[in-house]
Chain A
C-alpha cells in the first residue's frame, strides 16, 4: 500500500493530462495532418500527407512534401478572412450583450434571500432540460415576420409594420445571447455570491454611496467572474454553427457555417481542416497572452 502511494499520487496528477492528450491533442494532430494533405476524389476525399506505415525515414520524406496550399488558399479568397472577422465581431457584440443582461441577473440572484437562491439557480439551468436545437427552432416562431414578437408588438401598437428580425444579424445576436446566458450568469453568480457583504458596509461607513461602492468594490472584485463568463460565451460563439444557420440570413457570415459548407458541400476536407486550425489559433493565442499578463500582474503584486 505504502509503495503504491507515490504511484497513485502521480497518476492523479497525470490523469487530466492523459485526458487532454487523448481527447484534445490527438484529434488536433489529426486535423493538422489533414490540413496539410491534398484533396482527392476518393474515399476519404484526400491523399494522406503522412503514412504511419512509411517508418521514421519515410516520415521525413512525407513531412518534406507537406502541402501548405490549403492555408495559402484561405488568404486568397476574401470570404475566409471576412468570415473570421465577422465571426469575431458577432461573438464580441453578443458577449457584451450577454454581460449587460447577465450581470444584473447574477447580481439580483446573489442578493436575493438565501432561501430563494437555489430556486433561482435552478431556473437559470432549466432551459438545458430541453434540446438546444429545439430551443433555437422555437426562436424562428417568435422572430419571423408573422411570429409571436411581431404580433405582440403590432397588438400593442408600438409598430405598424412587422419588423424584419429573422434572417438578420439581430436574430443571431438574440439567439446567441439567449443560448449562452447561463454560461455568463453561473460564474458571475458564483463570484458575486461569495463576496463579503461587510466590504460594502465598510465602504458605506467610509463615506461611499451605494452606486459608487459598486464601481469601487463589487465590480473590480467580480473581474474573475466577468472574465470567466465572457470566455465561456465568446469562445463557443465564435465557432457557432447552429444559430447562424437557423436564425441568420444569407448575409450572416460566420466561420462555423463556412467550415460546415467546406466539409459537407465541397467535400474539401483539407481546406476545412485548415479553417479549423486557424480558428483555433485565433482563439488560443489571445487567451494565452491574456493569461500570461494575468500571471505577471499577480507576480508584481506579490
Chain B
C-alpha cells in the first residue's frame, strides 16, 4: 500500500474551504443532468475555490466527466445552475468561457504543427502576431518542448503530445483549467513524474485546476481536495489525508486504498472509546470523538497497514483476532498477508519490510494473531 502525499500540501496553509465567508470560484447549485431516463448527475452541489487543485474521483460512469464537461460548456444542465466567478454559465457558449480543457485524447489538430496548435486559441482572440509568437515560445519552454515546435502531432510520442496539449490549454491563460484523465495514456513511470510536474505548474501559474481521474493515487498526489463520486452524487469532499484517514462511508474507504470491514454492533462506551461486538461475537474497541447510539449496526473498519500480525498473542489483547495465513503477496516494500479469521472473515494486513529478509518470516497456513489499536480503527455507519 503506497500512500503518496504531496509534500507541499502538508506545510501549505491553503484551505479556503475552511474559511468563514470565503467566496467560491466555481459553484454547482443543485445540478442535475439527465440523458433520457438515465441520470448522470443527480442534484449535486459543490463549491470549488480559486487556486485550488480539485480532483473528481470515481469509477467510469459516475458522472465525473459530465460534471467537468458542464464547466467547459459541452453539456447543458438539465436542472440547477453552474456559476463561475459569480457568473451563471447557462447561456455562455463554450467559446466564450474563460475556461480551457485538456482532453483525454489530447485532441491535437493533426494538420497543424505544435506551434500552430498552441497558437490556435490566441489566434481566435485576434492577438497580434508578434505577441502570439512570444506566448507560444514561452509555452514551449514551460512544457520543455522548445525543440519540437515545428513537428506535427503524429511525429510526437505520447508524453510529448500530452505536453503540447497542456501547453495549448494553458496558452490563453485561462482562469480555470480542466484536465480530463490527462495522464491516462502514459506509462506508469512517466505518469508519476508528470503528476508532480502538474502540481509544480499549478502552483507556479496560480490557476485553478480541476482534474477528472479514476486513479486514486493520481488524485491524492495532485489534489488539494478530492471529491469521490458515485452514481451522479458526491459521496465525500475532503483533502487527501482526511479522506484516507476519515472516510465517511465504506464506498469511499474502499475506493481510496484498501480497507478491512467487520460487521459489528455498538454495545457500550468507555473513556472516549466505543465498544463493539462483531457479528461473530468478538469484542472490539474504537477510539473516536463521535458518539454512536447503542445497539446500532455498524462496521469496524481498519486499513491493512494499521493491523499488526504476530505468532504469539499480543500482551494487550484489545482488538486481537486469531486466524490462519491464507495468502501472501510480497510487493517489495510491503508484504500483504491475507488472513482467514476463525470467525470465517478475511482480513488483510500490510507489513512494512523494514529489514532485509529475516529467515523467520510468517508463512502460509501458520496460525497468527491479528491486532489493531483502538486508534487505528474507525466506525463506519454506511
Q: Is the CB of B155 within 8 A of A205?
A: no
Q: Which residues between 208 and 258 of chain A lie within 8 Å of chain B, taking CB atoms?
A: 208-209, 212, 216-217, 220-221
A130 within 8 A of B: no
A301 within 8 A of B: yes
B260 within 8 A of A: no
A209 to B123, CA, bound (A): 12
Residues in A with CB closer than 8 Å to B124 are 206-208, 212
A201 within 8 A of B: yes
A251 to B121, CA, bound (A): 54
Q: Is the CB of B103 within 8 A of A208?
A: no
CB < 8 Å: which of B73, B103, B111, B152 contacts A202?
Answer: B103
Residues in B with CB closer than 8 Å to A202 are 101, 103, 107-109, 168
CB < 8 Å: which of A198, A203, A302 contacts B105?
Answer: A198
Q: Is the CB of B107 within 8 A of A204?
A: no
Q: Is the CB of B72 within 8 A of A205?
A: yes
Q: Is the CB of B120 within 8 A of A205?
A: no
Q: Is the CB of B107 within 8 A of A206?
A: no
B contacts with A, residue count (CB < 8 A): 26
Residues in A with CB closer than 8 Å to B172 are 206-207
CB within 8 Å for A220 and B73 given contacts A201-B94, A201-B103, A206-B121? no
B100 within 8 A of A: yes
A40 within 8 A of B: no
A287 within 8 A of B: no
Q: Is the CB of A206 within 8 A of B168?
A: yes
CB within 8 Å for A209 and B110 given contacts A201-B74, A201-B103, A203-B120? no
Least Cβ distance of B318 to chain A in Å?
A: 56
Residues in B with CB closer than 8 Å to A208 are 95, 120-121, 124
Least Cβ distance of A65 to chain B in Å?
A: 55
Residues in A with CB closer than 8 Å to B107 are 196, 198-199, 201-202
A302 to B151, CA, bound (A): 8
A contacts with B, residue count (CB < 8 A): 19
Residues in B with CB closer than 8 Å to A207 are 95-96, 121, 124-125, 172
A216 to B117, CA, bound (A): 11
A127 to B72, CA, bound (A): 44
A209 to B124, CA, bound (A): 9
CB within 8 Å for A205 and B100 given contacts A212-B124, A301-B152, A302-B155? yes
Q: Is the CB of A205 within 8 A of B111?
A: no
Least Cβ distance of A6 to chain B in Å?
A: 32
Q: Is the CB of B111 within 8 A of A220?
A: yes
Residues in A with CB closer than 8 Å to B108 are 202
Q: Which residues between 100 and 155 of chain B lie within 8 Å of chain A, taking CB atoms?
A: 100-101, 103, 105, 107-111, 120-121, 124-125, 152, 155
Least Cβ distance of A194 to chain B in Å?
A: 12
Q: Which residues between 72 and 109 of chain B lie within 8 Å of chain A, taking CB atoms?
A: 72-74, 93-96, 99-101, 103, 105, 107-109
A207 to B122, CA, bound (A): 8
A212 to B94, CA, bound (A): 14
Residues in A with CB closer than 8 Å to B101 are 201-202, 205
Residues in B with CB closer than 8 Å to A301 are 152
Residues in B with CB closer than 8 Å to A201 are 72, 74, 94, 101, 103, 107
Q: Is the CB of A206 within 8 A of B111?
A: no
Least Cβ distance of A111 to chain B in Å?
A: 16
A276 to B206, CA, bound (A): 71
A203 to B109, CA, bound (A): 9
Most buried by B among A201, A209, A220, A221: A201
Q: Is the CB of A204 within 8 A of B95?
A: yes
Residues in B with CB closer than 8 Å to A199 are 107, 109
A202 to B165, CA, bound (A): 10
Binary interface profile of A, 188-204, with partner B (CB < 8 Å = 1, else 0)? 00000000101101111
Binary interface profile of A, 263-302, with partner B (CB < 8 Å = 1, else 0)? 0000000000000000000000000000000000000011
Residues in A with CB closer than 8 Å to B110 are 221
Least Cβ distance of A219 to chain B in Å?
A: 10
Closest A residue to B98 by beta carbon equals: A207
CB within 8 Å for A221 and B111 given contacts A201-B74, A205-B72, A301-B152? yes
Closest A residue to B155 by beta carbon equals: A302
Closest B residue to A302 by beta carbon equals: B155
CB within 8 Å for A196 and B73 given contacts A205-B95, A207-B172? no
A286 to B330, CA, bound (A): 68
Q: Is the CB of A204 within 8 A of B105?
A: no
A201 to B172, CA, bound (A): 16
Q: Which residues between 37 and 83 of chain A lie within 8 Å of chain B, taking CB atoms?
A: none
Least Cβ distance of B211 to chain A in Å?
A: 16
Q: Is the CB of A204 within 8 A of B94?
A: yes
Least Cβ distance of B162 to chain A in Å?
A: 14
Closest B residue to A210 by beta carbon equals: B95
A57 to B302, CA, bound (A): 100
Residues in B with CB closer than 8 Å to A198 are 103, 105, 107
Binary interface profile of B, 166-178, with partner A (CB < 8 Å = 1, else 0)? 0011001000000
CB within 8 Å for A206 and B74 given contacts A196-B107, A301-B152? no
A212 to B121, CA, bound (A): 12
Residues in A with CB closer than 8 Å to B105 are 196, 198
Residues in B with CB closer than 8 Å to A220 are 111
Q: Is the CB of B73 within 8 A of A204?
A: yes
Q: Is the CB of A217 within 8 A of B95?
A: no
A122 to B172, CA, bound (A): 45
Besides the known contacts A201-B103, A301-B152, 9 further A-B residue pairs in the complex with CB atoms under 8 A apart: A196-B107, A201-B101, A201-B107, A202-B108, A204-B73, A205-B73, A205-B94, A206-B168, A207-B96
Chain A to chain B contacts (Cβ below 8 Å), 15 pairs: A198-B103, A202-B101, A202-B103, A202-B108, A204-B95, A205-B72, A205-B73, A205-B169, A206-B120, A206-B172, A207-B121, A208-B120, A221-B111, A301-B152, A302-B155
B interface residues (Cβ-Cβ under 8 A, vs A)? 72-74, 93-96, 99-101, 103, 105, 107-111, 120-121, 124-125, 152, 155, 168-169, 172
